[in-house]
Structure 1
Amino acid sequence: MNLFRLFRHPKHLKDLTPAEVAALSHATQPPVLLDVRTTAEFRLGHVGGALSFPLGHEDAIITNFSATQKVVLICKTGHRSQAAAASLFAAGFVDVSHLKKGMDQWRREGRPVTREN
């Protein structure tokens, strides 16, 4: 598998800032926030309301969510979310965004995180 191809930015993927993700999460019809980091990373801190679907488990996303749902993908730096987005677009998802620069940027901006025990 070509790793460059796996992690390149999909053409239709929308980049969102932490401020945009925070605003969307409080919208009347918020998107589904999906964190594609490892379960251990997720437990250490994630965006409130996000669900854990580690990279490589896109089939579970495809099974559990409609391809027409608005989806925001989150990872540590933005690279894994790009890879997950490519899989979702290939499966017919049409409204996929990601947190540009990931949780690293979220934390740099001092935004709140939720922790799991």
Structure 2
Amino acid sequence: MSNVEQVSVNEVPEGAFVLDVREDYEFEAGHVPGARHIPLGELPLQYSELDPDEDVYVICRTGGRSAQAALWLNAQGFTAINVAGGSGAWIDAGKEIVSENGQAPVIK
């Protein structure tokens, strides 16, 4: 298994396309504003909805699932970059998160 490019949460460009590969309940509880959500297990079925010409910054909770997803997307011809430390690092860096469930956003 080859290494996948990684960036810190502070290196994700403003307005970048962020793909969250966590489960539904995790995404609904709290996520990066504007992130596209496709759970890791559904990625092979839904990746065709993504733009292959746009860099994809892949995020999960701690960086494991997103690394798998980025590696797989790269094999499909995408430029996918893993967000090191995931959503936990995102919130630790003081970056905004939003929720889909009407409650205060949290990372699960």
Which TM bucket (shorter chain)? 0.7 to 0.9
Q: Distance in 2 between matches of 1:19 and 1:92?
A: 25
**TM-align CA RMSD:** 1.6
TM-score between both structures, scaled by the size of structure 2? 0.83
For structure 2, list consecutive stretches of 5 or more residues without a partner in the other structure: 102-108
Q: Are 2:85 and 1:108 equivalent residues in the alignment? A: no
Residue identity opposite 1:19 in structure 2: N
Stretch moving more, 61-70 or 51-60: 61-70
2:23 equivalent in structure 1: 38
Among all aligned residue pairs of Structure 1 and Structure 2, give the percentage whose two residues are the same amino acid.
34
Aligned residues: 101
CA distance in 2, matches of 1:32, 1:92: 16
- Summarize deviations over 1:50-70 as a string: whole Å, max 9, x none: 011001112244211232321
Task: Indicate which of 58, 65, 79 corresponds to 1:80.
Answer: 65
TM-score (norm 1): 0.77
Task: Give the counterpart of 1:70 among 40, 50, 55.
Answer: 55
Q: How does 1:19-30 map to 2 (within 5 A)?
A: 19-21=10-12, 24-26=13-15
Q: Answer yes or no: is the 8 Å Cα contact 1:62–1:91 preserved in 2.
A: no
Cα distance in 2 for partners of 1:71, 1:61 equals 14
Distance in 2, Cα, partners of 1:54 & 1:25: 23
Moved over 2 A (4+): 59-62
Deviation at 1:33, TM superposition (A): 0.9
Shift of 1:74: 0.5
